[in-house]
């Protein structure tokens, strides 16, 4: 009897979990479906779920109109570049905050986080002028630096949390065995924190990939990533939803695939130290 | 052997020098534009331009309208120099021209025939008589209606209707039980959405945004009459949820046969008569925008235009491109490759004297009549201190127009009464204009 109740509860939980998952995934599913509809059917009321005239014309039109590869390449370079640079700075910073904390470490962490509370538009004009003066407008290097700075507080915070879970005694033991600071971070700390570092890396790539405000405003053509590619398919007049959906699907597909393959690492990292 | 190597090195150096020199001679123009059918078509036809100008290359940046406005404003205001040609509307040109942000287009070649531009469009793109942008396509607004529904309901919509005619026709055609609503109008808040329509409606009722001293006029009986009639039309004969409907939503409703009438941009004429996208393509009639006996019809004036930021380092080449894209030759190029119905409308007098075009575009005469009826320097019967028909050409208008639009959208959604919405509009306008220094006391 008890077993039957347990099965019922399991079934209920499964249905609820699937329901929530579908609800969360619905916008993406609907975008993908819309991308295969002819324009008039994309805006039909009542909406057509599956019984529409399937077509790949939108994808063809989107690629023919604006190309795709250069936008994709810029997204990859900007997302990977800003993440790598961010980790390079954040790992030593998080190490010192976690293992050699000072009196003001927590204040420093809060101050770093507080920079995320400021609306981006507040620093738009000063940053634009700095970029203009330094010749960084429409450059990949400029975007790598900006996105690294934007996401650095989150990277430092995440790594700090993971590093705090690692017993300091292990690092002390390494030091007693004669390990230098560099060897301690590289060969002792990093391997132990790999799940945390991996999830930080993946999350940061996703954040950088999807960042739209700065990537649209600071680029023109040479460094324009996929966010700019999508933005061009919205129209003030006329039907555009199917093409916009095709452009969006092409923009999110790479990051979706990356997330799919790295989901184990991502979950492991996000739950790292959750149960002590 | 040594001499051969030297010769090879010399030849390589010459080739490299030649390539370098050629690269230095080539100028790349960066063109910022919006995503609409006419602009996309132009991008497909630029081989014609580059073959005539092998020393000029074109790079396109296509953006959503508001993103484009934000990007270009940021770049021009900070002298960024990222763009050589920008697509802007009749709202920006007078403001930016006055600020010195745009290069004047006062030396276009003689065969460009600047006098052929429609006078009202040319006036809207000029500051003190100097042209600062060349129109790529122009539009006004008019009434689109279902001839079959009007006939079945026993009503006639005259070519020059009054608001009373529109109300009677909306009432007669309204059939919500069968999913047909008498009239579809913009309700979505925004200076370029509901306020574009409502400002022209108010103009036709004799209302104005400001008096000669920049005092807001939302407390006038003319505004109250216009907004009362608008809400009456929409609440009784409009589609449900109209406070969320802008151009694209109403276009969809009309194309799916759910609107008896729709008053909106003349550019929609080609969309609703396109059998590939419209279920009512062969049933659409056109009429001028309505009036209320105050000497002005409720039609606006807009032109997407090409201008050159003063910060561009390729102004002569940008002028050559603009002369090509907005010249008579481009019209013929489109007509030859895509048909006369697809040429950009509303910019040149000669187009409306062309029989091929008039017979290919059934809405052509109504479009030119609507454009000619709009006067950006005198948009309403009372004197005004501003230019612009459906907007006020001052930098503060984007924010102010959207704030006022939110009040009227709330009234349409039933959240506010007419008096409450007008009082709130008057307050926000008075505060904005005082803070901006227009009202000094």
Question: pLDDT digits over A206-254, tens only?
Answer: 999 999 999 999 999 899 999 999 988 887 666 788 999 999 999 999 9
Query: How many Cα atoms within 13 Å fall on the side-chain side of residue B431?
Result: 10
Whether residue A15 is predicted with pLDDT greater than 50 in this model: the reply is yes
Mutation target vs B (from A43, A58, A238; most B CBs, 10 A cutoff) = A238
- DSSP SS3 for B126: strand
pLDDT score of B330: 95
Q: What average pLDDT is seen over chain A?
A: 89
- DSSP SS3 for A144: helix
Sign of CA dihedral A20, A24, A27, A28: negative
CATH number of A69-226: 1.10.3720.10
Distance from the Cα of B319 to chain A's closest Cα (Å) equals 20
Instruction: Show the domains of chain B with their CATH numbers.
Output: 2-139+302-360 (3.40.190.10), 141-299+394-435 (3.40.190.10)
Chain B positions touching A124 (Cβ under 8 A) are 74
B/e letters for A27-47, b = 16+ CB within 10 Å, e = fewer, are eeeebbbbbbbbbbbbbeeee
pLDDT score of B10: 53
pTM of the model: 0.83
Chain A positions touching B83 (Cβ under 8 A) are 220
Q: How far apart are CA B67 and CA B81, in angstroms?
A: 17
Chain A positions touching B67 (Cβ under 8 A) are 216, 231
pLDDT, mean of residues A129-144: 95
Q: At what angle do helices B418-435 and B221-237 cross, to 10 degrees?
A: 130
Query: B247–A237: do the CB atoms touch at under 8 Å?
Result: yes
pLDDT score of B328: 94
For residue A131, the chain B residue with the least C-alpha distance is: B80
For residue B81, the chain A residue with the least C-alpha distance is: A132
The pair of three-digit structure tokens given for residue A47, joined into one six-digit string = 């909406």
A186: DSSP letter? I
Chain A positions touching B82 (Cβ under 8 A) are 137-138, 220
Domain boundaries, chain A: 69-226
Residues B33, B321 contacting (CB under 8 angstroms): no
Q: What average pLDDT is seen over chain B?
A: 90
pLDDT score of B258: 94
How many CB atoms are closer than 10 A to CB B122? 19
By Cβ distance, the residue of A66, A124, A137 closest to B82 is: A137
Query: B62–A238: do the CB atoms touch at under 8 Å?
Result: no
pLDDT, mean of residues A154-176: 89
pLDDT score of B420: 97
CA B74 vs CA A241, B78, B396, B432, B439: distances in Å? 28, 6, 16, 22, 27
For residue A234, the chain B residue with the least C-alpha distance is: B64
Long-range residue pairs from A250-254, CB within 8 A, at least 24 positions apart, any chain? A250/A59, A250/A62, A250/A68, A250/A226, A251/A75, A251/A226, A251/A227, A252/A28, A252/A31, A254/A72, A254/A75, A254/A76, A254/A209
Chain A positions touching B252 (Cβ under 8 A) are 43, 45, 239
Question: pLDDT digits over A260-270, tens only?
Answer: 888 887 777 66
By Cβ distance, the residue of B60, B81, B271 closest to A238 is: B271
How many CB atoms are closer than 10 A to CB A149? 16
By Cβ distance, the residue of B40, B71, B248 closest to A216 is: B71
A45 interfacial to chain B (CB closer than 8 Å): yes
Whether residue A41 is predicted with pLDDT greater than 80 in this model: the reply is yes
Secondary structure E strands in A110-189: none
The pair of three-digit structure tokens given for residue B211, joined into one six-digit string = 């008096």
Q: How far apart are CA B115 and CA B432, in angstroms?
A: 39
pLDDT score of A276: 44
Question: pLDDT digits over A76-109, tens only?
Answer: 999 999 999 999 999 999 989 998 898 999 999 9
Work out the burial of residue A65: count CB atoms within 10 Å of its CB; fewer than 13 is exposed, 13-18 middle, 19 or more buried: middle
Q: How confident is residue A116, by pLDDT bands cut at 50, 70 and 90?
A: confident
State which residues of chain B have pLDDT below 50: 1-2, 14-23
pLDDT score of A182: 85
């Amino acid at each position: 009897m008890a077993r039957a109740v347990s099965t019922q509860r399991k079934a209920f939980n499964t249905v609820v979990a699937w329901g929530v998952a579908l609800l969360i995934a619905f916008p993406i599913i609907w975008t993908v479906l819309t991308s295969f509809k002819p324009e008039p059917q994309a805006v039909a009321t009542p909406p057509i779920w599956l019984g529409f005239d399937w077509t790949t014309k939108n994808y063809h039109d989107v690629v023919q109109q604006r190309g795709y590869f250069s936008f994709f390449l810029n997204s990859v370079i900007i997302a990977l570049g800003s993440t790598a640079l961010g980790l390079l700075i954040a790992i030593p910073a998080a190490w010192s905050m976690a293992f050699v904390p000072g009196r003001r470490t927590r204040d420093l962490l809060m101050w770093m986080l507080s920079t995320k509370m400021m609306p981006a538009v507040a620093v738009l004009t000063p940053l634009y002028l700095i970029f203009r003066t330094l010749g960084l407008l429409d450059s990949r290097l400029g975007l790598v630096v900006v996105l690294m700075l934007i996401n650095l507080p989150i990277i430092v915070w995440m790594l700090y949390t993971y590093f705090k879970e690692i017993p300091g005694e292990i690092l002390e033991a390494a030091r007693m065995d004669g390990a230098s600071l560099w060897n301690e971070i590289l060969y002792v700390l990093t391997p132990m924190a790999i799940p945390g570092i991996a999830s930080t890396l993946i999350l940061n790539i996703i954040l950088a990939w999807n960042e739209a405000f700065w990537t649209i405003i600071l680029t023109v053509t040479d460094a324009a990533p996929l966010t700019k590619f999508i933005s061009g398919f919205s129209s003030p007049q006329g039907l555009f939803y199917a093409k916009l959906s095709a452009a969006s699907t092409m923009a999110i597909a790479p990051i979706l695939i990356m997330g799919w393959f790295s989901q184990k690492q991502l979950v492991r990292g996000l739950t790292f130290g959750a149960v002590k | 052997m040594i001499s051969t190597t030297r010769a090879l090195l010399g030849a390589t150096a010459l080739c490299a020098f030649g390539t370098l020199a050629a690269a230095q001679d080539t100028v790349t123009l960066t063109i910022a534009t919006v995503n609409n059918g006419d602009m996309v078509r132009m991008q497909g036809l630029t081989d014609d331009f580059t073959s005539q100008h092998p020393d000029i290359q074109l790079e396109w940046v296509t953006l959503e309208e508001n993103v484009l406005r934000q990007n270009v404003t940021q770049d021009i205001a900070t002298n960024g120099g990222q763009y050589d040609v920008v697509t802007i509307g009749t709202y920006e040109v007078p403001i930016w021209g006055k600020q010195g942000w745009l290069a004047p287009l006062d030396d276009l070649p003689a065969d460009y025939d600047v006098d052929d531009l429609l006078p009202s469009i040319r006036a809207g793109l000029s500051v003190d008589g100097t042209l600062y942008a060349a129109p790529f396509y122009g539009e006004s607004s008019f009434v689109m209606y279902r001839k079959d529904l009007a006939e079945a309901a026993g009503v006639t919509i005259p070519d020059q209707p009054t608001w009373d005619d529109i109300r009677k026709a909306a009432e007669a055609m309204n059939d919500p039980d069968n999913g047909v609503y008498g009239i579809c109008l913009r309700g979505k808040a925004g200076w370029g959405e509901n306020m574009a329509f409502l400002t022209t409606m108010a103009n036709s009722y004799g209302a104005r945004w400001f008096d000669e001293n920049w005092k807001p006029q939302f407390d006038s009986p003319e505004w109250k009459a216009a907004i009362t009639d608008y809400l009456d039309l929409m609440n009784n004969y409009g589609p449900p949820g109209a406070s969320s409907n802008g151009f694209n939503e109403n276009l969809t409703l009309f194309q799916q046969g759910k609107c008896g009438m729709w008053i909106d941009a003349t550019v929609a004429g080609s969309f609703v008569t396109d059998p590939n996208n419209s279920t009512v393509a062969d049933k659409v009639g056109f009429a001028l925008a309505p009036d209320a006996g105050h000497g002005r019809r409720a039609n606006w004036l807009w032109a997407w235009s090409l201008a050159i930021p003063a910060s561009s380092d390729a102004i002569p080449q940008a002028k050559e491109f603009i002369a090509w894209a907005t010249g008579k030759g481009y019209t013929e190029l489109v007509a030859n490759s895509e048909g006369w119905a697809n040429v950009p409308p509303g910019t040149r007098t000669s187009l409306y004297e062309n029989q091929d075009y008039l017979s290919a575009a059934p809405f052509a005469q109504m479009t030119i009549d609507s454009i000619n009826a709009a006067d950006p320097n005198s948009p309403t019967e009372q004197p005004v201190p501003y230019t612009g028909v459906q907007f006020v050409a001052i930098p503060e208008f984007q924010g102010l127009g959207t704030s006022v639009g939110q009040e009227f959208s709330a009234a349409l959604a039933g959240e506010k009464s007419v008096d409450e919405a007008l009082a709130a509009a008057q307050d926000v306008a008075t505060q904005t204009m005082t803070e901006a220094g227009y009202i000094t006391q």
